[in-house]
Structure 1
């Protein structure tokens, strides 16, 4: 009996190994899908309920900078809540992993805004990050061909944090250079934040902007969307 149980356990282990595990995000390129451990995959998949709940609104997908966009500013500047698919800590690989679980065409979003890349800076080069963003753009375009795609430049880091200024500049240069051929608009947020007369007042911490910073982004995004949909 014990021998049979042992053989059964070995067979299960071999089956598990045959199917493999989800690749860790530190094991894949910025253009390949990767899940995070723990409850993240379930939480990521469950965000699809927001698509039906806020259908027809602007859709955000990306990291915590997307996730933290204040609800009152969404209403004030855009007249309705966003379909906010932002998740804290996400890299380009995490967003690529999540995309198949969302019916972006059903969202009927006038614009799909991609805010991603800052969490890749510590491990990926500028071209790799830009390639990851380009992969997201391509997949979003295939899933929602009627929606305008907007890519937000990577924001400068706030006071007290690791700057990554050179890498951020290189990624943003590539984002802008590829926009026309890849069919997206660029939310030119980097310089608007960096050159603000009181830049420090726009940050909640070295990575995240506060409500004042989101006012800057809201004004830029409103103007960009309006320019694509004139009255």
Structure 2
């Protein structure tokens, strides 16, 4: 969805599509810690934020979302609902009142940095059925790079944080001694050195203890090669997706 060119929506998100998308989600069906997650706050907060016409209304909506809707600010916990809400929040940031945009950025930053409760740490995405919440949010942020980059000093740090939640999709593998060179596409920034990674394939998750960047992507390209130590190519089939293992270890 795009905002009307040349001006901010002066009072609220005029495109009913945002509200329809919020109402289309069964927030009660999204799992979350029963003592902390309040699905009604997610639905009401998002609608209120989309309708916000000033700072007071945006702040009230933010309190609903930050007090049990998508995060619980006092305990620094994030819920699976945050991954579902992120694209809706970004639509609000693009189309809504400037005060709503500022509230969105704060909420998304909090969701990305907070830890989930045990048993509520993963969500289903196009890249896997048990993806860490922070990685799912990071993918949503990357999908809106132009929007966030255009917001300057508020948006660019979110993109930088998202880049730390890298994702690598294997295309093919070649044996190299006792290791495997995995070729594929890398989004985000793989850190220097050797790191553990989660391997996602067919709903199963396995941990690879030692993964390193063999060579980085050429500027403007997502093509890259990772060295997976002590693994054979047959253990790393095409279509498997790697995420940082540290993200999977984030538990409140």
Give the TM-score normalised by structure 1: 0.31
- Structure that is richer in helix per residue: 1
- Structure that is richer in strand per residue: 2
Give the TM-score normalised by structure 2: 0.29
Structure with greater contact order relative to length (CA < 8 Å, sep ≥ 6): 1
